[in-house]
């Protein structure tokens, strides 16, 4: 590492000789940092970022008064705002998180100008690592090599059952989140959640492993868009060596209160002067830094190219969604057509069944009517002979064939004929059939009477005396 800049003279302070303050940066300004970079002193830059770099993409940060996410959670009825990311609260009541996840789901936001600083530094071989607290995965969308990215608080990239820890398909979880339903593990029934680090959970092992080695090597720390409120991420700023310059680009000062934290106002009289701050929007601060380093045109071109790429990806996504939708509509139409055919078939069957039932009822009513008429009209002795007497001689003995045994169509045949006729809705034919049915019925009723008489008296009824 290049030897730090130092002021030659030893200073007396209140009569005591104090070591000279070593100026790593000429002062606490952005231009001092740009100068340090242009002198080639920054070869292993670490970038730490928070929600402030994504607000320009349309994603709320957490703590900005009035606009931060934690100011907008009343609808979830939480005991305190962070509960939405608290693992013990989640286990009892997962719905606030999944409702919020619907708003945070990646896929609808694009990386900001600030995000493209990462691939720019990587392209120049100056980026050691990017440590982000964000779960929106926008760093990945800039094309940054995964090796150079540590998502300290996890992301929506993967999902896991919190009970059996089976890794589940994130697309499946995404579908649940979009349908506002809670995903339960198909293996053990436990709750499934994206691998976002909740309060009360350990940070990813990769975070601890890489932080241990990276921060010792770091020769310029750039901190972007974070309030540095959350441990252990915020303490990373104290893990760099005392000669490593540190730059905060944020709307407000942050990270001054912890031991070894930032000292923008030279309050702690650290032995080295190395902290710089740009108070304002990340995109403005990053643009200013790039300009001072002579990288603004390159960074702008990467940002624009990235946006075009995102636009094409979004259009492809929209097209494939439209194709999926079209296919789903076609399948739905097919299913609807089949259902209609099935319904028609069923209705036809029902109609036939109904017609048969109708016909049967008519027959029964007719039979009753006839039977009544018969019962009233005919006296026992004046029963009409079943068969005409042959001229001049009476037939003796059991009639060879009683009309009852004649091949009179059975009731079922009549029903069949009637329902076919009824269905053809040929009313005349139906009334003819009724007349025919009448005759048939009269005959069959008489035959019934004859047969009954034979059975009762064991002899054919005597033909009436003429
Ligand atoms: N430019 C610069 N600074 C910004 C911008 C912007 N466009 N937008 C917001 N900021 C600043 C805010 O003023 C605030 O200081 O960014 C900071 C964002 O702070 P937080 O909302 O606390 O977000 P962050 O620091 O990322 O939170 C850390 O807390 O709840 C947890 O898991 C959550 O990862 C999150 C962690």
Q: Which atom of ligand 1 is nearest to the CA of 254?
A: 15
Q: Which atom of ligand 1 is nearest to the CA of 228?
A: 25
Classify residue 151 by burial, with Cβ atoms within 10 Å: 0-12, 13-18, 19+.
buried
Check whether 282 is labelled as a binding-site residue: no
Centre of ligand 1 from the C-alpha of residue 64, in Å: 7
Residues 6+ apart with CB under 8 A from 381: 464
Helix crossing, 296-377 with 427-457: angle to 10°? Answer: 50
φ, ψ (nearest 5 deg) of residue 168: -115, 165
The band of 253, judged by pLDDT with boundaries at 50, 70 and 90, is very high
Helix crossing, 296-377 with 411-423: angle to 10°? Answer: 130
Q: Which of 225, 281, 282 to mutate to test the pocket of ligand 1 (most atoms within 8 A of CB)?
A: 225
pLDDT reported for residue 3 = 46
Tokens representing residue 430 in the block: 């139906």
Q: Which atom of ligand 1 is nearest to the CA of 49?
A: 26
The pTM of the full predicted model, rounded to 2 decimals, is 0.71
pLDDT exceeds 80 at position 271:
yes
pLDDT tens digit sequence for 296-332: 999 999 999 999 998 998 888 888 888 888 998 899 8
Centre of ligand 1 from the C-alpha of residue 52, in Å: 4
Residue nearest to atom 13 of ligand 1 (CA): 251
Centre of ligand 1 from the C-alpha of residue 135, in Å: 12
The band of 424, judged by pLDDT with boundaries at 50, 70 and 90, is low
Active site residues: 153
Q: Which of 85, 109, 131, 227 to mutate to test the pocket of ligand 1 (most atoms within 8 A of CB)?
A: 227
Tokens representing residue 259 in the block: 């031991």
pLDDT exceeds 90 at position 388:
no
Q: Which atom of ligand 1 is nearest to the CA of 196?
A: 32
CATH 3.10.129.10 fits 22-317, yes or no: no
The band of 393, judged by pLDDT with boundaries at 50, 70 and 90, is very low
Which of 274, 281, 300 lies closest to 225, judged by CA?
281
Helix (H, G, I), strand (E, B) or coil at 120: helix
Check whether 218 is labelled as a binding-site residue: no
Average pLDDT of the chain is 84
**Range with the lowest mean pLDDT among 12-16, 138-142, 385-389, 446-450?**
385-389
Centre of ligand 1 from the C-alpha of residue 450, in Å: 105
pLDDT reported for residue 462 = 53
Q: How is the chain split into domains, by residue range?
A: 22-317, 403-459
């Amino acid at each position: 590492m290049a030897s730090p800049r130092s002021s030659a003279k030893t200073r007396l302070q209140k009569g005591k000789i104090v070591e000279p303050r070593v100026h790593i940066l000429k002062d606490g300004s952005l231009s001092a940092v740009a100068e340090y970079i242009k002198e080639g002193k920054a070869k292993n830059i670490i970038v730490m970022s928070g929600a402030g770099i994504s607000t320009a993409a349309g994603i709320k940060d957490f703590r900005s008064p009035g606009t931060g996410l934690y100011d907008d959670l009343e609808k979830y009825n939480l005991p305190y705002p962070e509960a939405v990311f608290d693992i013990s609260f989640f286990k009892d009541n997962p719905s606030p998180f999944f409702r919020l996840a619907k708003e945070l789901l990646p896929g609808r936001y694009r990386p900001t100008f600030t995000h493209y600083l990462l691939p720019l530094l990587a392209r120049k071989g100056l980026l050691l690592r990017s440590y982000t607290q964000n779960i929106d995965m926008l760093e990945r969308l800039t094309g940054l090599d995964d090796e150079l990215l540590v998502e300290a608080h996890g992301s929506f990239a993967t999902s896991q059952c919190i009970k059996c820890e089976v890794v589940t398909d994130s697309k499946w979880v995404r579908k649940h989140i979009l349908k506002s339903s809670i995903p339960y593990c198909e293996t053990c029934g436990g709750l499934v959640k994206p691998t976002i680090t909740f309060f009360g959970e350990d940070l990813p092992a990769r975070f601890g492993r890489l932080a241990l080695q990276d921060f010792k090597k770091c020769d310029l720390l750039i901190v972007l868009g974070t309030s540095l409120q959350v441990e252990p991420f915020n303490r990373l700023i104290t893990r760099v060596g005392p000669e490593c310059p540190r730059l905060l680009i944020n709307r407000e000062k942050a990270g001054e209160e912890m031991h070894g934290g930032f000292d923008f106002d030279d309050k702690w009289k650290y032995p080295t002067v190395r902290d710089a701050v740009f108070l304002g929007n990340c995109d403005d601060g990053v643009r200013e830094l790039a300009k001072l380093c002579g990288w603004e045109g390159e960074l702008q071109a990467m940002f624009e190219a990235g946006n075009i790429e995102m636009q094409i990806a979004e259009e492809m996504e929209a097209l494939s969604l439209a194709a999926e939708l079209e296919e789903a509509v076609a399948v739905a139409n097919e299913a609807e057509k089949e259902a209609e055919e099935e319904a028609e078939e069923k209705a036809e069957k029902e109609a036939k069944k109904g017609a048969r039932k109708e016909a049967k009822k008519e027959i029964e009513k007719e039979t009753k009517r006839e039977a009544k008429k018969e019962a009233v009209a005919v006296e026992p002795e004046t029963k009409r002979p079943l068969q005409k007497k042959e001229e001049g001689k009476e037939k003796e003995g059991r009639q060879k064939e009683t009309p009852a045994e004649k091949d009179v169509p059975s009731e079922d045949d009549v029903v069949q004929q009637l329902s076919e006729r009824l269905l053809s809705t040929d009313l005349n034919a139906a009334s003819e059939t009724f007349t025919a049915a009448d005759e048939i019925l009269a005959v069959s009723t008489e035959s019934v009477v004859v047969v009954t008489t034979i059975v009762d008296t064991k002899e054919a009824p005597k033909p009436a005396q003429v």
